[in-house]
Structure 1
Amino acid sequence: MPDQASSPAADPARPASGFPPSPWRIGVDVGGTFTDLVLRGAEGGLQVFKVPSVPGDPSQGVLAALEKVAQAAGLGVAQLLGGCELFVHGSTVATNTILERKGAKVGLLTTAGFRDSLEIRRGLRENMWDHRAPFPDVLVPRYLRLPVGGRLDETGAELAPLSAADVAAAAETFAADGVEAVAIALLNAYVNPAHEEAAEAALRGRADAPAWISRSAAVSPVMGEYERSSTVVVNAYVAPKVVAYLTALQDRLHQLGLRHPVLLIQSNGGAVSVDQAAERPVNLVLSGPAAGVGALQLYGAAAGTGDLIAMEIGGTSCDVTLMGEGRVPVTDELVIDGYHLATPSVEIHTVGAGGGTLAWVDAGGMLHVGPQGAGADPGPACYGLGGERPTVTDAQLLLGRLRPGAYAGGSLSLDLALAERAIRTHVAEPLGLEPAAAAVGMIRLLEQRLLHAVERISIERGHDPARFTLVAAGGAGPMHGATVGRALGCRRVYIPRAAGAFCAVGMLHADLRQDFLKVFFADLDRIPAAELESAFAPLEREAAAALEAEGFDAGRRQLGRTLDLRYRGQHWSIQVPLGDAAFDPATVRADFEAEHRRQFGHVQPDGALEITGLRVTGQGLLARLPLPDPAPAEAPPAAAERRRVFIDDRHGWQEVAVHAGAGLRPGHVLEGPLLVEEATTTLFAGPGDRLEVDAADNYLLHIGGGAA
Structure 2
Amino acid sequence: MPTDREDRETAPVRLGVDVGGTFTDVALVAGDDLTTAKVPTTTPQHDGVLDGIREACEAAGIDPAAVDAFAHATTASVNALLERDGARTALVTTAGFRDVLEIGRQTRPSLYDLGAQKADPLVPRRRRFEVDERATTDGTERPVDPEAVREIAADVAEADAESVAVSLLHAYANPENEARVADVLREALDVPVSASHDVLAEFREFERTGTTVADAYLTPELDAYLGRVIAGARNLGLPEPRVMRSNGGVADAETVRESAVTTVLSGPAAGVVGAAAVASDAVTFDMGGTSSDVSLVRDGRVERTAETTIADVPLRTPTVDVETVGAGGGSIAWTDAGGALRVGPESAGADPGPACYGKGGTEATVTDADVLLGYIGADAALGGDLSLDVDAARDALDRLADAAGIVGGDDGPDGAGLDAATAAARGVFRVANATMARAIRSVTVERGRDPRAFDLVAFGGAGPMHAAALADRLGMDRVLVPGPAGVLSAYGLLAADETHDAARTVRLSLADASAGDLESAFEELTERVLGDVSDPDAASVERAADCRYAGQSFELTVDAGIGGDGSTESGSADPEALAERFAAAHERTYGYRLDAAVEAVTLRGTATVDVEAPSVSRSGGADATRGTREVVFPETGAVDATVYDRDALGPGATPDGPAVLAGTESTTVVPPDWRGRVRRDGTVVLERAAGGERR
| TM-score by shorter chain over 0.5 | yes
Work out the percentage of aligned pairs sharing the same amino acid: 37
SS in structure 1 at match of 2:202 = coil
1:536 to 522, 535, 547: 522
In structure 2, the partner of 1:588 is: 578
For the Cα contact (< 8 Å) 1:667–1:694, is it kept in 2? yes
1:658-677 to structure 2, matched below 5 A, reads 658-677=643-662
The one-letter code matched in structure 2 to 1:505 is Y
The one-letter code matched in structure 2 to 1:49 is A
For the Cα contact (< 8 Å) 2:477–2:688, is it kept in 1? yes
Once the two structures are TM-superposed, the CA of residue 543 in structure 1 deviates from its matched residue by 1.1
For the Cα contact (< 8 Å) 1:380–1:389, is it kept in 2? yes
Structure 1 range deviating more: 15-24 or 325-334: 15-24
2:36 to 22, 43, 48: 48
For the Cα contact (< 8 Å) 1:359–1:427, is it kept in 2? no
Once the two structures are TM-superposed, the CA of residue 594 in structure 1 deviates from its matched residue by 4.1
Q: 1:120-145, CA deviations, whole angstroms, 9 ceiling, x for partnerless residues?
A: 11232223333422112122221221
Structure 2 CA distance for aligned equivalents of residues 618 and 61 of structure 1: 32
Q: Say how many residue pairs are matched.
A: 671
1:399 to 358, 368, 373: 373
2:20 to 23, 26, 31: 31
Structure 2 CA distance for aligned equivalents of residues 128 and 20 of structure 1: 61
SS in structure 1 at match of 2:677 = strand
2:506 is aligned with 1:520: yes
TM-score by length of 1: 0.91
In structure 2, the partner of 1:224 is: 204
SS in structure 1 at match of 2:266 = coil
Once the two structures are TM-superposed, the CA of residue 247 in structure 1 deviates from its matched residue by 1.5
In structure 2, the partner of 1:125 is: 108
For the Cα contact (< 8 Å) 1:357–1:369, is it kept in 2? yes
For the Cα contact (< 8 Å) 1:34–1:51, is it kept in 2? yes
SS in structure 2 at match of 1:407 = coil
In structure 1, the partner of 2:243 is: 264
In structure 1, the partner of 2:637 is: 652
Q: Per the alignment, do residues 429 and 18 of structure 1 end up closer, same or farther by CA in structure 2, a change over 3 Å counting? A: farther
Structure 1 range deviating more: 419-428 or 342-351: 419-428
In structure 2, the partner of 1:476 is: 462
SS in structure 1 at match of 2:505 = strand
Once the two structures are TM-superposed, the CA of residue 115 in structure 1 deviates from its matched residue by 1.0
2:263 to 284, 292, 298: 284
Q: Per the alignment, do residues 69 and 19 of structure 1 end up closer, same or farther by CA in structure 2, a change over 3 Å counting? A: farther
For the Cα contact (< 8 Å) 2:87–2:163, is it kept in 1? yes
In structure 2, the partner of 1:497 is: 483
Q: Per the alignment, do residues 331 and 430 of structure 1 end up closer, same or farther by CA in structure 2, a change over 3 Å counting? A: closer
CA RMSD of aligned residues (A): 2.1
For the Cα contact (< 8 Å) 1:311–1:477, is it kept in 2? yes
For the Cα contact (< 8 Å) 1:367–1:427, is it kept in 2? no
1:443 to 429, 432, 436: 429
Structure 1 CA distance for aligned equivalents of residues 201 and 647 of structure 2: 51
1:11-22 to structure 2, matched below 5 A, reads 22=11
Q: 1:190-220, CA deviations, whole angstroms, 9 ceiling, x for partnerless residues?
A: 00110011111222233xx132111011011
The one-letter code matched in structure 2 to 1:669 is T
Structure 1 CA distance for aligned equivalents of residues 526 and 624 of structure 2: 57
Q: Per the alignment, do residues 409 and 161 of structure 1 end up closer, same or farther by CA in structure 2, a change over 3 Å counting? A: closer
Structure 2 CA distance for aligned equivalents of residues 230 and 296 of structure 1: 31
For the Cα contact (< 8 Å) 1:318–1:353, is it kept in 2? yes
2:472 is aligned with 1:486: yes
For the Cα contact (< 8 Å) 2:40–2:383, is it kept in 1? no
The gaps in structure 2 that reach 5 residues or longer are 408-419
Structure 2 CA distance for aligned equivalents of residues 314 and 53 of structure 1: 12
The one-letter code matched in structure 2 to 1:628 is V
In structure 2, the partner of 1:147 is: 130
Once the two structures are TM-superposed, the CA of residue 630 in structure 1 deviates from its matched residue by 4.0
2:39 is aligned with 1:57: no
For the Cα contact (< 8 Å) 1:148–1:162, is it kept in 2? yes
1:679 to 661, 664, 668: 664
For the Cα contact (< 8 Å) 2:339–2:403, is it kept in 1? no
1:251-400 to structure 2, matched below 5 A, reads 251-258=231-238, 260-300=239-279, 306-400=280-374
Q: Per the alignment, do residues 624 and 369 of structure 1 end up closer, same or farther by CA in structure 2, a change over 3 Å counting? A: closer
1:177-188 to structure 2, matched below 5 A, reads 177-188=159-170
For the Cα contact (< 8 Å) 1:20–1:45, is it kept in 2? no
Structure 1 CA distance for aligned equivalents of residues 316 and 648 of structure 2: 48
The one-letter code matched in structure 2 to 1:58 is Q
1:166 to 124, 148, 151: 148
Structure 1 CA distance for aligned equivalents of residues 299 and 183 of structure 2: 46
Once the two structures are TM-superposed, the CA of residue 578 in structure 1 deviates from its matched residue by 2.3
SS in structure 2 at match of 1:546 = coil
Structure 2 CA distance for aligned equivalents of residues 269 and 429 of structure 1: 43
For the Cα contact (< 8 Å) 2:172–2:202, is it kept in 1? yes
Q: Per the alignment, do residues 643 and 586 of structure 1 end up closer, same or farther by CA in structure 2, a change over 3 Å counting? A: farther
Q: 1:218-262, CA deviations, whole angstroms, 9 ceiling, x for partnerless residues?
A: 01111011111111111111111110110221122113212x321
Q: Per the alignment, do residues 676 and 253 of structure 1 end up closer, same or farther by CA in structure 2, a change over 3 Å counting? A: same
Once the two structures are TM-superposed, the CA of residue 644 in structure 1 deviates from its matched residue by 0.8
2:239 is aligned with 1:233: no
Once the two structures are TM-superposed, the CA of residue 597 in structure 1 deviates from its matched residue by 3.5
The one-letter code matched in structure 2 to 1:683 is T
Structure 1 range deviating more: 96-105 or 191-200: 96-105
2:591 is aligned with 1:608: no
For the Cα contact (< 8 Å) 2:276–2:302, is it kept in 1? no
The gaps in structure 1 that reach 5 residues or longer are 1-13, 301-305
Structure 1 CA distance for aligned equivalents of residues 272 and 74 of structure 2: 16
For the Cα contact (< 8 Å) 2:289–2:328, is it kept in 1? yes
Once the two structures are TM-superposed, the CA of residue 673 in structure 1 deviates from its matched residue by 1.6
In structure 1, the partner of 2:389 is: 415
Structure 2 CA distance for aligned equivalents of residues 513 and 572 of structure 1: 26
Structure 2 CA distance for aligned equivalents of residues 496 and 644 of structure 1: 26
In structure 1, the partner of 2:416 is: none
The one-letter code matched in structure 1 to 2:648 is G
The one-letter code matched in structure 2 to 1:164 is P
Once the two structures are TM-superposed, the CA of residue 278 in structure 1 deviates from its matched residue by 1.5
For the Cα contact (< 8 Å) 2:50–2:232, is it kept in 1? no
Structure 1 CA distance for aligned equivalents of residues 530 and 105 of structure 2: 36
Once the two structures are TM-superposed, the CA of residue 591 in structure 1 deviates from its matched residue by 3.6
The one-letter code matched in structure 2 to 1:39 is L
SS in structure 2 at match of 1:28 = strand
Once the two structures are TM-superposed, the CA of residue 629 in structure 1 deviates from its matched residue by 4.1
Structure 1 CA distance for aligned equivalents of residues 694 and 624 of structure 2: 23
The one-letter code matched in structure 1 to 2:487 is A
Structure 1 range deviating more: 398-407 or 667-676: 667-676
The one-letter code matched in structure 2 to 1:614 is L
Q: 1:98-124, CA deviations, whole angstroms, 9 ceiling, x for partnerless residues?
A: 222221111111101111111111232
The one-letter code matched in structure 2 to 1:70 is C
SS in structure 2 at match of 1:414 = coil
SS in structure 1 at match of 2:68 = strand
In structure 2, the partner of 1:5 is: none
Structure 2 CA distance for aligned equivalents of residues 536 and 580 of structure 1: 10
SS in structure 2 at match of 1:175 = helix
Once the two structures are TM-superposed, the CA of residue 442 in structure 1 deviates from its matched residue by 0.6
Once the two structures are TM-superposed, the CA of residue 502 in structure 1 deviates from its matched residue by 1.4
Q: Per the alignment, do residues 175 and 630 of structure 1 end up closer, same or farther by CA in structure 2, a change over 3 Å counting? A: closer
For the Cα contact (< 8 Å) 2:100–2:206, is it kept in 1? yes
